Structure 1
Amino acid sequence: MSEVTRDGITLKGCRFGVLLGIALLAGCSQPQAEAQTQSGGAGTIKAINHTKWAINHFSVNGQSGIDAIGPFDGGGGGCCYGVPSVWTPGMMVRIDWESGEASTEGFPGFADYEKYKAWEKKMSANNRQHSKTVIVPDYTGQETCGITVHFLPCDEVKVTTSCWSPTNANYPIKLPLEMKEPKVCPK
Structure 2
Amino acid sequence: MNGGGGPNLAPYGYGGGQNCCASLPVKWHPGLTVVVEWVKDPDPYAYGRWPERVFSDAWSKRMEEHKTRYTRHRAVVPVARYERLGVVNVHFLPCNQVAVTAGLMMPGTPKYPFHFPQKMQEPATCPES
Q: TM-score range by the shorter chain?
A: 0.7 to 0.9
Q: Which residue of 2 aligns with 1:86?
A: 27
**Unmatched 5+ residue regions in structure 2?**
none
1:171 and 2:112 aligned:
yes
From the superposition, tell whether residues 120 and 175 of structure 1 become closer, same or farther in structure 2 (CA, over 3 Å): same
Once the 2 structures are TM-superposed, how far is the Cα of residue 83 of structure 1 from its aligned partner?
Answer: 3.1
Alpha-carbon distance in structure 2 between the residues aligned to 1:111 and 1:149: 31
Q: CA RMSD in A?
A: 1.9
> TM-score w.r.t. structure 1 length?
0.60
From the superposition, tell whether residues 107 and 152 of structure 1 become closer, same or farther in structure 2 (CA, over 3 Å): farther
The residue type paired with residue 89 of structure 2 is T
Quick one: which of 44, 53, 70 aligns to 2:10?
Answer: 70
**DSSP-derived class of the 2:49 partner:** coil
From the superposition, tell whether residues 99 and 111 of structure 1 become closer, same or farther in structure 2 (CA, over 3 Å): closer
Q: Which has the higher helix share?
A: 1
Alpha-carbon distance in structure 2 between the residues aligned to 1:170 and 1:95: 24
Alpha-carbon distance in structure 1 between the residues aligned to 2:66 and 2:55: 18
From the superposition, tell whether residues 164 and 86 of structure 1 become closer, same or farther in structure 2 (CA, over 3 Å): closer
1:186 and 2:120 aligned:
no
**DSSP-derived class of the 1:158 partner:** strand
1:108 and 2:52 aligned:
yes
**Unmatched 5+ residue regions in structure 1?**
1-59
Once the 2 structures are TM-superposed, how far is the Cα of residue 174 of structure 1 from its aligned partner?
Answer: 0.3
> TM-score w.r.t. structure 2 length?
0.84
Alpha-carbon distance in structure 1 between the residues aligned to 2:61 and 2:9: 24
The residue type paired with residue 167 of structure 1 is G
**DSSP-derived class of the 1:64 partner:** coil
Aligned length: 124
CA contact (8 A) 1:80 1:146 kept: no
From the superposition, tell whether residues 69 and 83 of structure 1 become closer, same or farther in structure 2 (CA, over 3 Å): same
CA contact (8 A) 2:27 2:85 kept: no
Once the 2 structures are TM-superposed, how far is the Cα of residue 126 of structure 1 from its aligned partner?
Answer: 2.7
Deviations 1:132-173 (A, max 9, x none): 11111222xx22214110001111100001222212222211
Alpha-carbon distance in structure 2 between the residues aligned to 1:165 and 1:107: 41
Alpha-carbon distance in structure 1 between the residues aligned to 2:77 and 2:67: 27
Q: Which has the higher strand share?
A: 1
1:126 and 2:69 aligned:
yes
User: Whose radius of gyration is greater, 1 or 2?
Assistant: 1
Quick one: which of 80, 85, 100 aligns to 1:159?
Answer: 100
